[in-house]
A and B are shown apart, each in its own frame.
Chain A
Amino acid sequence: MKFRRYSSSHNSSPIRFLLSRALLIILVLTSLVMILLSTRDRAFSVSLREILTEISTPFLRVLSLPVNVIGNLASSVNSFSRLRAEHDQLLIEVKQLEQWQEVARRLDLENKELRKLLNFVPEPGAISLSARVIADSGGIFVRNILVSAGTKAGVTKGQIAMSGEGLVGRVTDVTPHSARILLLTDLNSHIPVIDENTHERAVLTGDNSPIPHLLYLPHDSKIKKGDRIVTSGHGGGLPPGLPVGVVSEVGENGVLVDLFVDWSKLDYVRLIDYGLNDFLPAPTSPIPPRGNHK
């Protein structure tokens, strides 16, 4: 058997060669113009990104299905092997939760009485919907995911994304059939949080690594490893009390937070609208515009 090898030299005419070179120059210039516009004009960047996302959403939905199925299968096989141990662990957790349920009931009653006494204005109720994760940017420069619900399902910019464990991020771009969620680990993610133990406020800032860090802690901060971090509600953009993570390190590298969300098992997210978007502008897209600091 003889394998043919393609020759790199064509019998192409000079006109064809010139046309191909012209096309090359046009495409290179188009790319350069796009880079300039992306960094300077947010509207252009968002519109083009939305068009590309909307075109690729049907393919992503189809391609991500076998990935989800295989992932679930692997989880099920894994679970079967630890069935007995998980069962015993769950029995212990149920007993603990029953005790907490009793405490929660008492606190809820006390809360209602106190609110009546203070004429407290309640926060608006939350509306939520679930969406499947169909893409993960997987890049090192931008950390975001795409979900299979968009404006047609009622998703809007600024909505909060949660997993079963904790806060995942916020919706930054929406198309009719998909939405892009900026993750907590992204460089552009800045969430006002509070330490449940010391009640110190800080800002959870991503750096594109899996473990974000806390900024703007007071100089005499008493924060320590193991402290639970939740949203503070400061600024009105996020409701208080949403679980974020646990302090994993306090040292020379700063204060690092181990997030509750398990990135390796993020198949579905809950998108929640707390009706707080009127207080703050929508979160910035991954690439903020340059020079517009008004």
Chain B
Amino acid sequence: MIQTLLARLRLAISSATPLLSLLFLTFLTAMPISLPTSLQFTPALTMMGLVFWSINNPELLPIWGIFLVGLLRDGLDGGVIGIYPLILIATYEIILVQRRVLLARSFISAWVAFCLCFLVASLAEWVVFIMADRAISFYLLAKHYVLSVALFPFVTYVLSKMLRMIVTPPTITIELGGRTR
């Protein structure tokens, strides 16, 4: 009975890991970390996490969870409420459509997918904020984009370790002849 409970607990943890990691990345984006004055902004960690899990385990990311993560990010940011849920949901759906292709290819494809999705998301956010009388310089936008793209491999490396250890642990299959693999 204890083993069944443990198995269920393990299943619950592995199912919740993608959403919890997205929440953690969102909170991490808002942490008061001492950054050099020239940066003064944090990279798009939530977006990186979303792209990773959308490619690898989209069924563990409920759409309502993505919406709530986006809402939380907007609340912490203090900007236009509603923009990030829309961006995250759109990114998720776009990645789902191309998932087979991305899974079959190397990590570079995932990186390119992130670059393209994040480029469109950044421009869309920029347009919305211009409409809200908050036009920032294109230089700032470009700096943020380059920093986020550069950090994508490191963030996804950590997430891939999480994927291996928690979400898809190694399984042992036993053949009929008694040999184990």
Contacts and interface: CB of A to CB of B under 8 A. Distances in A.
A, B co-complexed: yes
Interface of A: 1-6, 8, 10, 20, 23-24, 27-28, 30-35, 37-39, 45, 48-49, 51-53, 55-56, 59-60, 63-64, 67-68, 71, 74, 133-146, 173, 180, 185, 187-188, 207-210, 263-267, 285-288, 290
Interface in B31-47: 31-38, 40-42
17 contacts: A1-B171, A24-B63, A31-B82, A31-B85, A32-B86, A35-B81, A38-B82, A38-B132, A49-B74, A67-B33, A135-B32, A139-B78, A142-B134, A143-B40, A209-B140, A264-B34, A286-B134
Given A1-B171, A5-B168, A31-B86, A264 B37 contact: yes
Contacts of A33: 82
Contact of B75 (A37, A48, A209): A48
B9 interface: no
B33 A53 contact: no
B32 A28 contact: no
Interface stretch (B106-114, B123-131, B150-158): B123-131
Residues of B in contact with A, size category: 35 or more
Contacts, number: 199
Interface in B18-40: 27-38, 40
B81 A27 contact: no
Nearest to B23: A59
Nearest to A262: B37
B172 to A, nearest CB: 7
B170 A3 contact: yes
Nearest to B92: A24
Nearest to A21: B63
Contact of A287 (B30, B76, B134, B170): B134
A76 B40 CA distance: 22
A143 to B, nearest CB: 8
B77 to A, nearest CB: 5
Nearest to A180: B78
Contacts of B141: 140
Given A27-B89, A209-B137, A35 B80 contact: yes
Nearest to B145: A140
A137 B36 CA distance: 15
Given A6-B59, A187-B136, A208-B136, A136 B30 contact: yes
Given A60-B30, A287-B132, A4 B168 contact: yes
B131 A39 contact: yes
A68 B81 CA distance: 28
B111 to A, nearest CB: 20
A19 to B, nearest CB: 11
Given A67-B31, A263-B37, A188 B86 contact: no
